[in-house]
Chains A and B, each alone.
Chain A
């Protein structure tokens, strides 16, 4: 009997100590200790998902009560999945989203605001533009992870074959180099000096917006479309000039739902000499070209337009957010996991696990300590051209109606690529559409 009482007291003491330890190890502000299962929805490719799964496994070992499942969908299906599954508690807990979608997802109460501790962390360790991209009305809604910029990727081997020593620094140089780099068969470019992208809104609009930024312009100024200004006119005309000169063959620029397709195949295959793309496609290029051929790819800042003062580009941010419909224990567990995943203790040498998997894809991490930790890796010929533009990059406008605005602009840019609209018509109609779309969105 005495033994039984002692034994019970020992078990009770052990339970009390265990609870105390578990409470001590949890950051303040989190009450969850019961077993909890959360899921992470992303669009990343399988190799990156494998890294994320590995990081989650490490976390789960230290948090035995937490189970994390990773789900991946193609980029083209991500927004639809978010929209169709949000509102249910058992769908996704954490999601990786594009900052352009944030205002509407917040307006529709799909996302939950970050707890004070997490918001303070974001404001302290991330740069101002990243914090801004993860916020609506001054409230932080997630952890910024990747920052993507647009730069001019070029094939050094094709440049050497065409006798070009330096990458172009101005639009005139770009047009001249593109002419030298183009090979034609029956009037059509079989090797194009410059590549456009079509059938994919971001792939069409972002390169255009980067050219516009390098010409001193912007898509939206003070919340209003600015496609009717001089800088925009010159940018539309420059696109038209490349098409008319047949140094760009639009049929070589199609993208599919996985953001792959002919535009990628043609650059990988050495049939596109220059293209404006974001840093994230490094892994796709490495996979497609192999390491030896990838060494021929370099990045240079966006050539400056006639009205530009210096090379500028645009950037956009992705962030990880939490589903408002998830239960409180799930939300708490999600924020706790995100804090760890994006913190300096989850990776090596002071880097975060998130930074590690982003850099593996050629993506620039946004946490300041990650940028420092990966400084050597970010100095590669491919990434250095992007990193050098970080300070001069303008964030892609994040406004209500942004997706519809992007789709409409894409329509006119593609129509110009295929000769259905002139530069003047495309500019006029794009501005008219933009005014209507943003005005409607503001009043909804």
Chain B
């Protein structure tokens, strides 16, 4: 490449690299650095004290900091796993439904499904907090008409997180259904036709032909669902504040509580670092597993 060519390359890359540096690399580097310091997030960086791995030791300790963080990580894992288990199959099922050419109201159905994704999570959280109300909530009223005793939903440690998962599924399902439909449209009709000629029907056709061909779409969906789930914040902050008994305390909310409310910026940064490491590991493992499956 000529000197002039290299110059133009630098000029063309500068805006995007510059923005990435300012908004991604510098904050990430600062977060990594601060995780080794004792620092009140309301004081200048100059006041930070080097404490080595003390923040990480505290997070892994048996004290209240370690206990609360481990519980937050556990809750986040359950939330993410439950979201994947529910959203992916449902999105494929609904995708198959609206993908059918015979369905006359498919476009309207797609619009309705996708509309939930366009509603801001803050509004969704507000509405669902009222839907879940133990006494006045419409959900329990409907259950009452069916002769089912009212459920405590957000008021019990063993149901509160599941209630938030349902809220998440309701909001996100439409988006992933559209992704599933996009994946289904990518499957060549000739392959499906060939399978039918070979005798594949209904469930067999779906299981042995359609689903394997949807693998890339599902992999992408799974990763996005995971990232969205790990970053869940609004419904917890708006409805449950992490309770009861920390049952809905998720990692992002906990980092905010530690890093901002308690002003322990160094400790919060260390927690954020652990979150990034764990999330990167999970995504890498998923890609690795998917890659090996492709090779087979």
**Distance of A240 from chain B, by nearest CB (Å):** 15
Bound-complex Cα distance A69 to B244 (A): 36
Contact A436 B64 (CB under 8 A): yes
Write the chain A residue with the least CB distance to B62. Answer: A432
B129 on the A face (CB < 8 A):
yes
Chain A residues within an 8 Å CB radius of B152: 251
Contact B129 A256 (CB under 8 A): yes
Chain B residues within an 8 Å CB radius of A105: 42
Contact B64 A198 (CB under 8 A): no
**Distance of B291 from chain A, by nearest CB (Å):** 41
Contact B134 A252 (CB under 8 A): yes
Contact A411 B246 (CB under 8 A): yes
Contact A86 B42 (CB under 8 A): yes
**Distance of B172 from chain A, by nearest CB (Å):** 22
Q: Which of B157, B237, B243, B260 contacts A420 (CB 8 A)?
A: B157
Number of A-B contacts defined by CB within 8 Å: 103
Instruction: Bin chain B's interface residue count.
Output: 35 or more
Bound-complex Cα distance A266 to B136 (A): 10
Contact B133 A198 (CB under 8 A): no
Bound-complex Cα distance A418 to B246 (A): 12
Write the chain B residue with the least CB distance to A258. Answer: B238
Contact A418 B244 (CB under 8 A): yes
**Distance of A122 from chain B, by nearest CB (Å):** 24
The count of chain A contact residues (Cβ–Cβ below 8 Å) is 46
Write the chain B residue with the least CB distance to A433. Answer: B64
Contact B244 A76 (CB under 8 A): no
Contact B245 A418 (CB under 8 A): yes
Chain A residues within an 8 Å CB radius of B154: 254
Bound-complex Cα distance A425 to B47 (A): 38
Chain B residues within an 8 Å CB radius of A404: 64, 262
**Distance of A147 from chain B, by nearest CB (Å):** 24
Contact B149 A200 (CB under 8 A): no
Q: Which of B38, B245, B256 contacts A411 (CB 8 A)?
A: B245
Contact B260 A84 (CB under 8 A): yes
**Distance of A410 from chain B, by nearest CB (Å):** 8
Bound-complex Cα distance A369 to B156 (A): 46
A184 on the B face (CB < 8 A):
no
Contact B242 A199 (CB under 8 A): yes
Chain A residues within an 8 Å CB radius of B257: 407
A-B contact pairs, 18 of them (CB 8 A): A79-B261, A104-B263, A186-B149, A199-B240, A250-B244, A252-B155, A254-B240, A254-B244, A255-B241, A257-B238, A262-B135, A266-B135, A269-B135, A404-B262, A414-B244, A418-B156, A433-B63, A444-B40
